[in-house]
DNA sequence: GATGAATGAGGATTCATTCAT
DNA sequence: CATGAATGAATCCTCATTCAT
């Protein structure tokens, strides 16, 4: 597992959390809103600091560091549930894969809704910056893959998933899940997701949109 | 159908096409490469104009206009095949939906590969700019929907697609297709897509990843 | 004698000496080291105050005043020995001019070595600031001249110095002595001066570098 | 001979000379005057650019580079005459060392008067910046030493200089010469040097200030 | 008395755009 | 038409100084 400490390295450069002053909170909130709306590059530090611009730099050193200060906690929260903790959620009961998938969508939807703006910033910056992409994407993929592959294998044994390579199933899942969240929260800037929509995408992932008796494989 | 003339409005502001001089081509090429690599905001006109910066403004008026000058032809090419012309492709023979879907993926893959960089620019700017998003997205969705809904209804009549609302099927298709291309070409910056990958995603869309006899609907 | 009270005026603006707290000592020490190394302009008060920046301003009012607070005691120590006290050192015994000169060099070398950093700050700021230069240089020159001229006249009477205008001899001495200390301690940042070097420059000042029997005067 | 190409390295980073536009000349002139008067650190680029600040950066890239652009030509002119070309000046006739020394002072005085402000900038920056000092001083010393040592040896053979180590004589000369020019042009900001003053320092260097028949060595 | 967060004026630098040649 | 020097507003960042705790 390469680059395991990318996030730790990033985390070390940012301000220790918890010690936030009122001003710091104001800055972070303004930064999140503006970065999400207009993007990091198109937001000036003058806009973020409603009062004194210098305060930003006293607190965060650089504009870049301010960005990391709001991204790192998000990523640290965002990753685990994509992997190890996900397995735990499964172990304690014998839910079906459909239930598992639906609860995954609901859980992540809730998380992204809570962090909608930071998620937007994350995706937007990820797309723009080669460095972030090269450092984080492999790490995220690696991190998420290991947990998911296990889950897929478990459900294959239970006979709930097609007998294809787990990697094939993972690829399909990644494409649909990432497509679902990115299109809803980043492209369409949705502020809510209905249960029906989650049920719908869960159904489609499991059953496909083809009629069962017409499958031409 | 709202905003039908968004593109025409955009097109009118840009230089008439076809009259491209050598200089213009140089500028366009450099702009495409740089915008795709670093993003519009992070590319300066000085970088684009290897020689005379003034030429850009003589030719395109503003940097914004240079961006539109390379996006508009792409969008004009990109949209039709998502809609009307797609239907024509269907009419003349009685291919299965699977074949239709596969050829759609292949066709769009070829198109995006040919215009990989402009596609990246398009998506990146779409994500970043509220204005572009608000003007283009509804138009694209509208435009693509009408054609697709017809196709879906045709295949439903032929019994190849599940008996759900065409809009439901369209939503699934949009999510997966947009997810597929954005993840491959923008997030992962792929330079090629294998036939196996297309076969794979086509299969998954049609059949899902659940085992047929375990479907819990 | 113009500007006789330049130093007193400067001294009045600064904190009364002797009452130095631990904190003040820390600040002064840090300031001396940093000012000497990087110069006054290139040292920020944040660097000087390892802990609380406010303390500097509580103690010294302004950064400028902190500079004066460390320069004034140095200048007050530095000047007298160049003048009056120098004469006293002569009166009680009948040393030769060579011995006098050598002991002057040794005395000043010891003093500058003890205050190497403050001497560097003094010269660097003197060179940079027209105001300091215009206020201090005439005062220093005046102050030092009067004492030295007396000494020179004494030694001329004893027949140990050439029969030129005392002002001429003073000018030569000033040039060489200032050149010696500035080149060693400021330009070359020497941390020690050997006795041989002092003997050498003393010899050259007295005898010149020309061969006695070839003098073309 | 180490660092022989320090200057070349510096020279490569700066704008090629000769292509100066009117604006560039204005900027250089303003920069020289202001840097000499207030020092590099205390001069803002806004002050230098009477019209558009951006022009400085279009032309010189950075403020630092502007400094080098005016220092490098000076240093390139300043160094040679301290060394090799000096020897040539000697070869063609059999002047006495006194005449040589006087003409050296006159030559350098004329040069420094012509470049008074740049010389001030040079010395002021040399004193302040460790990096410049560490790179240039050894180079200058090396460069000047080799030429001077030869000259000293020639005159020692002619019996015009004391029979001490050439290095000893060089050290004395360096101290007095650098002291002379730095005190006159940098500390005292003189705008002219009289022939009498040059004759005086030349005399003192050669004969010393001690009375010949009282030498106690 | 000490602290350090907050301040805001000022500084170096960037960059889209203009215009004289 | 093409050029590239000149522009100046805007940007990120620094820093001496203030002030509430």
Residue D205 in domain: yes
- CA distances for D102 relative to D105, D196, D197, D208, angstroms: 5, 11, 10, 15
Q: Please, which residues have CB within 8 angstroms of residue A82's CB and are 6 or more apart in sequence? A: A140, A143, A144, A147, A148
Mutate to test the interface with C, among D175, D194, D199 (most CBs of C within 10 A): D175
What is residue C120's predicted lDDT score, i.e. its pLDDT? 93
Measured between beta carbons, which residues in chain C are less than 8 angstroms from residue D197? 171
- Report residue C179's pLDDT band, with 50, 70 and 90 as the boundaries: very high
Chain A residues with beta carbon closer than 8 angstroms to that of B137: 187-188
Of A69, A90, A111, which residue is a domain's last? A69
Of C128, C160, C179, the CB nearest to D211: C160
- Judging contacts by C-beta atoms under 8 Å, the chain C residues touching residue D187 are 126-127, 133, 137, 178
Instruction: Mark which of C42, C69, C96 sits at the end of a domain.
Output: C69
The answer for residues whose C-beta is within 8 angstroms of residue C41's C-beta and 6 or more apart is: C128, D39, D41, D42
| Lowest mean pLDDT across B132-141, C74-83, C133-142 | C74-83
Range with the poorest average pLDDT among A51-60, C1-10, C48-57, C192-201: C1-10
Name the residue among B89, B83, B73 with its Cα closest to residue B17.
B73
Which residues from 24-43 of C have any strand F atom under 7 Å from their CB? Answer: 42-43
C-alpha closest to that of D129 among B96, C39, C74: C39
| CATH classification at residue B93 | 1.10.357
Give yes or no for residue D8 having a pLDDT over 90. no
DSSP result, B28-93: HHHHHHHHHHH-STT--HHHH-SS-HHHHHHHHSSHHHHHHHHHHHHHHHHTGGGTHHHHHHHHTS
Residue closest to D189 by CA, chosen among D124, D100, D116, D81:
D116
B217 and B192 in a common domain: yes
Q: Which residue has the tokens 């027209």?
A: C130
Q: How far is C21 from chain D (nearest CA, A)?
A: 31
Under the banding of pLDDT at 50, 70 and 90, the label for residue C217 is very low
Lowest mean pLDDT among B25-39, B100-114, C89-103, C120-134: C89-103
Higher local confidence (pLDDT), A167 or D144: A167
Q: Does D76 touch chain C (CB under 8 A)?
A: no
Kindly state whether residues D30 and D119 are assigned to the same domain. Answer: no
Nearest-angstrom CA–CA distance, B6 and B27: 25
Q: Positive or negative CA dihedral for B191, B195, B197, B199?
A: positive
Residues constituting chain C: 217
- D33 interfaces chain C, CB cutoff of 8 Å: no
Mean pLDDT of D171-177: 94
| C17 pLDDT higher than 60 | no
- The CATH number covering residue C94 comes to 1.10.357.10
Is C88 in the same domain as C55? no
Q: Let me know if residue B72 belongs to a domain.
A: no
> Same domain, yes or no, for B40 and B125?
no
Mean local confidence (pLDDT), C31-51: 90
pLDDT at B215 over 60: no
Please give the Cα distance from D149 to D188 (Å, whole number): 30
D59 and D87 fall within a common domain: no
Whether A140 contacts A8, CB under 8 Å: no
pLDDT, position D28: 92
What pLDDT, on the 0 to 100 scale, is given for residue D84? 66
Best probe of the C interface among D135, D154, D204, D205, by most C CBs < 10 A, is: D204
pLDDT interval class at D144 (50, 70, 90): confident
* B209 and chain A in contact, CB less than 8 A: yes
User: Residue C59's pLDDT is what?
Assistant: 87
Tell me how many domains chain B contains.
Answer: 2
Six-digit token string for B89: 């492709």
**Distance in angstroms: CA A61, C1' E3:** 20
Check residue A216 and give its pLDDT.
46
Please indicate if any CB of chain B lies within 8 Å of the CB of A44.
no
Mean pLDDT of D150-158: 89
Tell me what the mean pLDDT of segment B144-170 comes to: 90
Residue C2 has pLDDT above 50, yes or no: no
In a domain, C215, yes or no: no
Q: CA–CA separation, B201 vs B182, rounded Å?
A: 14
Q: Is C134 in the D-facing interface, judged by CB distances under 8 Å?
A: no
Quick one: A83 and A63 in the same domain? Answer: no
D212 or D191, which is more confident: D191
Determine, yes or no, domain membership for D72: no
Residues 46-65 of B with CB under 7 A from strand F: 51-55, 57-59
Nearest to D166 by CA among D177, D143, D150: D150
Final residue of a structural domain among A69, A90, A118: A69
* Residue D105 neighbours by CB under 8 Å, 6+ apart: D177, D180, D198, D201, D202
A163 at B interface, C-beta within 8 A: yes
What three-state secondary structure class fits A70?
helix
CB-CB neighbours of A83 under 10 Å: 18
pLDDT bucket at C130, cuts 50 / 70 / 90 = confident
Q: Domain span at residue A214?
A: 79-217
Q: Which nucleotides of E are covered by protein (CB under 7 A)?
A: 1-20
Per-residue pLDDT, D122: 93
Inter-chain contact C211–D128, Cβ cutoff 8 Å?
no
Q: What is the CATH number of the domain that holds D41?
A: 1.10.10.60
Neighbours of chain A (3+ CB pairs under 8 A): B
In a domain, C3, yes or no: yes
- My answer on whether A53 and A98 are in the same domain is no
Is there a domain that residue C44 lies in?
yes
Average pLDDT over residues C109-121: 93
Q: Which nucleotides of F are covered by protein (CB under 7 A)?
A: 1-20
B90 and B165 share a domain? yes
Confidence (pLDDT) at A4 = 46
Contact in structure between A14 and A72 (CB atoms under 8 Å): yes
Task: Work out the angle between the directed axes of helices C6-13 and C63-78 (0-180°, nearest 10).
Answer: 140
Same domain, A114 and A214: yes
Q: Which residues pair with B161 in a beta bridge?
A: A210
pLDDT score of B143: 77
Q: Do chains B and A touch (3 or more CB pairs under 8 A)?
A: yes
Q: Is residue B188 part of a domain?
A: yes
Task: Report, as an integer, the average pLDDT of B179-186.
Answer: 95
| Low-confidence stretches of chain A (pLDDT beneath 50) | 1-4, 214-217
Give the containing element (helix H, strand E) for B183: none
Structure tokens at A96: 């079906």
C159 vs C154: CA distance, rounded Å: 9
Asked whether residue B46 falls in the same domain as residue B86, the answer is no
What distance in Å separates the CA atoms of residue D34 and residue D45, rounded to the nearest whole number?
Answer: 10
Portion of chain D with pLDDT greater than 90, in percent: 45
CA-angle at D145, arms to D139 and D147, nearest 5°: 115
Q: Which of A127-131, B171-175, C120-124, D182-186 has the lowest mean pLDDT?
A: A127-131
- What's the CA gap between A35 and A67, in Å, rounded? 8
% of chain C residues with pLDDT over 70: 82
Mean pLDDT value across residues B39-61? 89
Mean pLDDT of the C157-185 span = 93
Please answer whether residues D27 and D49 qualify as being in contact, where contact means their C-beta atoms are separated by less than 8 angstroms. Answer: yes
Six-digit token string for C168: 């001429």
pLDDT at D81: 59
Query: D151 and D83 in one domain?
Result: yes
Both D14 and D113 in one domain: the answer is: no
Q: Does B74 fall in a domain?
A: no
């Amino acid at each position: 597992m390469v680059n395991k400490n990318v996030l730790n390295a990033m985390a070390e450069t940012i301000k220790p959390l918890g010690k936030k002053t009122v001003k710091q909170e104001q800055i972070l909130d303004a930064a999140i809103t503006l970065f999400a709306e207009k993007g990091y590059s198109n937001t000036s530090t003058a806009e973020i600091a409603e009062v004194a611009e210098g305060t930003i730099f006293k607190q965060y050193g650089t504009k870049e560091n301010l960005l990391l200060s709001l991204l790192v906690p998000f990523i640290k929260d965002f990753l685990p549930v994509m992997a190890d903790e996900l397995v735990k959620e499964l172990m304690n009961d014998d839910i079906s894969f459909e239930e598992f998938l639906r609860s995954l969508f609901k859980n992540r939807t809730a998380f992204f809704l809570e962090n909608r703006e930071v998620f937007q910033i994350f995706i937007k910056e990820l797309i723009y910056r080669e460095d972030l992409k090269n450092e984080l994407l492999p790490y995220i993929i690696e991190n998420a893959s290991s947990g998911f592959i296990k889950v897929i294998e478990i459900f294959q044994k239970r006979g709930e998933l097609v007998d294809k390579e787990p990697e094939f199933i993972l690829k399909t899942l990644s494409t649909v899940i990432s497509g679902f969240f990115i299109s809803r929260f980043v492209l369409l800037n949705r502020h809510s997701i209905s249960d029906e929509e989650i049920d719908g995408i869960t159904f489609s992932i499991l059953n496909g949109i083809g009629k069962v008796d017409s499958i031409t494989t």
